[in-house]
Amino acid sequence: MKEFPTEESCKRHFIEYRKAKGVICQKCEGKEHYWLHKKEQFQCKECRFRTTLRSGTVLHSTKLPYMYWYIAMHLMTTTKKGFSAHEMKRQLGHEYYRPIWEMMRKIRESMGLADSKLSLKDSVAIDDAYVSTYTSSQERRELKRGKGSQKKSKVTVMVESIPLEVNGKQEVYMGKIRMALNTSETSDDMDEVTSKSIDKESILFSDNSTSYVNLANLFEDNKQTLSNSLENKIDLKWVNISISNLKRFLLGIYHVVKEKYVQHYLDEFCFKLNRRNHPNKFENLLLNSI
């Protein structure tokens, strides 16, 4: 609030930030632009095509104030837990729920785009989690128990777990994390999820799930260990902690989410965890076009 106390200060920062990062013309892909103060648009030096200030950013095609976006991105990236759309609406003093929910959805998508550029390396542990999701009244009447239940959605969790020796004891350092909604139980879908998120030269650690049978063919030094071995418990330590924290994050703040939106909440959880030591996290989101 000290740095961005007014709508004008947020807008001025956004203009300077766009100038510093550069604007790409949507017509000729030129990178040299003039800033037209009266029109509040960028004009390409080559073809004179104009680009609005919000175009090509997370703020694209929205009319909410810049200050709303800055406050929302600050709260969503700096708080350890999270904010529901109802709570964000109350914090901003806005009358309607839907525009605030849509703004937060776009911010979460921008978080996903930022993390999609990350690739997990070195030692990577993999496991599956089943999170509670919304079920209709009809589904509740026909609810199954256990694996395949309509109220559970499968999430593949991948965590960099780098072994270190500290004071003569073996410890595991947690690096970056990726999570993906993966409702299928087939090994082919598991292969697709892991190949998008993990570097091919990484060493993998997992339990004895049949979904992982093909991973040895995708990665050079694949190492799969049994879930009842002591070594595996060490290797999967941060995966298990991450799964536990994810479930608390979803149930404690959002209570229940629809399956089609689960990936957005996974992206928010991973984005904050991957940048837990970074200042000004929200600037990573400003230029991600949705």
Q: Output the tens digit of pLDDT for each of the chain's 290 residues.
A: 888 899 999 999 999 888 888 888 888 888 899 899 888 899 999 889 999 888 888 888 888 999 999 999 999 988 888 889 999 999 999 999 999 999 999 999 999 998 888 889 888 888 888 888 876 654 555 556 556 566 788 899 999 888 777 777 777 788 899 999 988 777 777 778 888 888 888 888 877 666 666 666 666 555 444 333 334 555 788 899 999 999 999 888 888 888 889 999 999 999 999 988 876 667 777 766 54
Tens of pLDDT, residues 205-227? 877 666 666 666 666 555 444 33
Q: Are strands 50-52 and 41-44 parallel, antiparallel or unpaired?
A: antiparallel
Nearest to 208 by CA among 224, 221, 195, 232: 224
How far is 239 from 158, CA to CA, in rounded Å? 7
How far apart are the C-alpha atoms of 56 and 52, rounded to whole Å? Answer: 9
Per-residue pLDDT of 121-137, as tens digits, reads 888 888 888 888 876 65
Topology annotation, domain 123-259: Nucleotidyltransferase; domain 5 (3.30.420)
- At how many degrees (to 10) do helices 85-92 and 97-115 cross? 110
Cβ-count burial of 255 within 10 angstroms (0-12 exposed, 13-18 middle, 19+ buried)?
exposed
Contact, 73 vs 59, CB < 8 A? no
Domain range summary for the chain, segments of one domain joined by +: 1-57, 60-117, 123-259
Reported pTM: 0.83
